[in-house]
């Protein structure tokens, strides 16, 4: 059998660093049966650790709320700040940190049986999230009742079964709230994009079910019609191309008519260098694909070149400075290209604000080194009491949380190839494709 202690001295206070070190050095010279037991035991340990993280997050919020009450600040501001601290500590985005803190609060106040199963390692953090998500529309009393009804079956249900059971019981307890939730969900319809492997991207639309089915049926009809007339593309290819054409109004799917920013070295653009380029908002792409995009834009007379220089052999842009309080458009564009996404570690959200690292009221200057691209949430959090930021070299930003923990944010690496010392600085080209 797997011994959870395995020689680790049990202490009255948990020492995660020691436990991690022992796990790294764990001896795997065991039988197949023991290895299976080890995997199962570690899964329970992992779940129990996540449950302890949730309880610790709630305790942190309570401490912050007590401090805020003495200073006259609102609870909402405290929750946002604590969520950001939790996100940094767990190396997650601020949005994910808010979700985790919300889950911890719900488990602690309204779902004791789910919390107990979570703490015992019998269910994962994701399973606990599913129960909380599917019961969000219920009153506190009904949520407690559902929690009790599902308690004995939680460890045995799959994710799909758990969602189905939670929905069934929720509808039985309060059908009106479930119907109202469906109606409210329609107001949350949206379209999002996220990177995919091999220079592809996922374009997702969250739609009311009738609209989603209608869109899909229309694309299938267009694909079947094209195939019937001899189109050699696959059905999936035709559906994807038709979607692009109908949304953008283009005659063909590859005639991109909106602005796409591509950062590439001069040698990769004009010669045959294989130094990867960077598509702003997506990430690195092969030099050959970048040249193909540039050629396509040039053939349609939709190509502009913006020269951005960097020091020799370094993947960073030169500084720009302004005496204005607000960042001028050129400097904002430079910062956006440099940072690519929100500068808060592990956030990854699109940039919405160009902000001073050191505020102007504290003597901060409007320069590229004192500028950073942030999402709206992170820009609000940095104004909460106890948060501090300071710029470092090469675009680095040091972030200090109210507890004194520090995190270093570094800008996205730009395409570069270290040249011989005798060569001039590489040239970066911002390709803008626009109608």
- Condensed to tens digits (0 to 9), the pLDDT of residues 71-109 reads 877 777 788 899 999 999 999 999 999 999 999 999 999
The whole-number average pLDDT for the span 40-54 is 95
Q: Which of 59-73, 132-146, 278-292 has the highest mean pLDDT?
A: 132-146
The token pair at 21 is 């070190």
Supply the mean pLDDT for the chain.
82
Looking at residue 1, its pLDDT comes to: 37
Check residue 292 and give left, alpha or beta (phi > 0: left; psi -120 to 50: alpha).
Answer: alpha
Looking at residue 417, its pLDDT comes to: 58
Query: Is residue 354 helix, strand or coil?
Result: strand
Q: How far is CA 369 from CA 262, 326, 396, in A?
A: 22, 14, 8
Condensed to tens digits (0 to 9), the pLDDT of residues 375-384 reads: 999 999 988 8
Looking at residue 296, its pLDDT comes to: 66
The whole-number average pLDDT for the span 390-412 is 88
Condensed to tens digits (0 to 9), the pLDDT of residues 298-341 reads: 555 555 555 454 555 555 555 444 455 678 777 888 888 888 88
Looking at residue 4, its pLDDT comes to: 41
Boundaries of every domain in the chain:
16-185, 190-248, 261-314+426-433, 321-409
For the chain, give the number of residues.
435
Looking at residue 93, its pLDDT comes to: 94
pLDDT bracket for residue 169 (50, 70, 90): very high
Among 51-55, 194-198, 391-395, 414-418, whose mean pLDDT is lowest?
414-418
What percent of the chain has a predicted confidence (pLDDT) above 90? Answer: 46
DSSP annotation of 93 reads -
Q: Is the pTM of this model over 0.95?
A: no
Please report, in angstroms and rounded to a whole number, the separation of the first and last CA atoms in the chain. Answer: 67
* Contact residues for 228 (Cβ-Cβ < 8 A; gap 6+): none
């Amino acid at each position: 059998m797997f011994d959870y202690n395995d020689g680790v001295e049990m202490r009255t206070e948990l020492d995660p660093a020691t436990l991690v070190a022992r796990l790294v050095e764990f001896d795997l010279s065991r039988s197949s049966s023991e290895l299976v037991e080890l995997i199962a035991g570690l899964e329970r340990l992992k779940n129990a650790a996540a449950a302890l993280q949730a309880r610790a997050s709630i305790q942190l919020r309570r401490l912050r709320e007590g401090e805020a009450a003495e200073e006259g600040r609102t609870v909402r501001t405290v929750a946002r700040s604590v969520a950001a601290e939790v996100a940094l500590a767990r190396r997650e985005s601020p949005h994910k940190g808010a979700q985790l803190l919300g889950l911890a609060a719900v488990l602690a106040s309204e779902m004791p049986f789910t919390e107990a199963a979570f703490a015992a390692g019998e269910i994962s953090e994701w399973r606990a999230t599913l129960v909380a998500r599917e019961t969000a529309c219920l009153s506190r009393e009904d949520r407690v009742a559902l929690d009790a009804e599902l308690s004995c079956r939680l460890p045995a249900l799959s994710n799909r079964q758990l969602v189905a059971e939670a929905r069934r019981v929720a509808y039985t307890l309060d059908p009106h709230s479930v119907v109202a939730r469906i109606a409210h969900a329609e107001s949350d319809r949206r379209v999002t994009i996220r990177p995919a492997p091999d220079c592809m991207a996922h374009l997702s639309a969250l739609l009311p079910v009738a609209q989603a089915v209608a869109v899909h049926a229309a694309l299938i009809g267009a694909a079947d019609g094209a195939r019937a007339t001899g189109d050699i593309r696959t059905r999936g290819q035709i559906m994807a191309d038709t979607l692009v054409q109908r949304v953008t109004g283009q005659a063909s799917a590859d005639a991109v008519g909106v602005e796409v920013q591509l950062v590439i070295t001069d040698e990769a653009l004009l010669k045959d260098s294989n130094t990867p380029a960077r598509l702003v908002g997506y990430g690195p792409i092969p030099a050959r694909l970048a040249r193909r995009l540039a050629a396509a834009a040039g053939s349609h007379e939709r190509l502009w070149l913006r020269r951005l220089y960097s020091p020799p052999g370094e993947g960073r842009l030169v500084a720009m400075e302004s005496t204005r309080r607000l960042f001028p458009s050129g400097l904002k564009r430079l910062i956006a290209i440099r940072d690519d996404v929100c500068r808060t570690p592990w956030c990854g959200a699109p940039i919405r604000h160009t902000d001073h690292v050191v505020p102007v009221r504290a003597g901060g200057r409007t320069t590229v080194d004192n500028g950073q691209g942030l999402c709206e949430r992170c820009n609000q959090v940095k104004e909460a009491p106890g948060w501090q930021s300071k710029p470092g070299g090469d675009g680095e930003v040091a972030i200090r949380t109210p507890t004194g923990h520090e995190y270093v944010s570094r800008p996205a690496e730009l395409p570069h190839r270290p040249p011989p010392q005798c060569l001039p600085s590489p040239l970066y080209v911002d390709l803008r494709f626009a109608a």
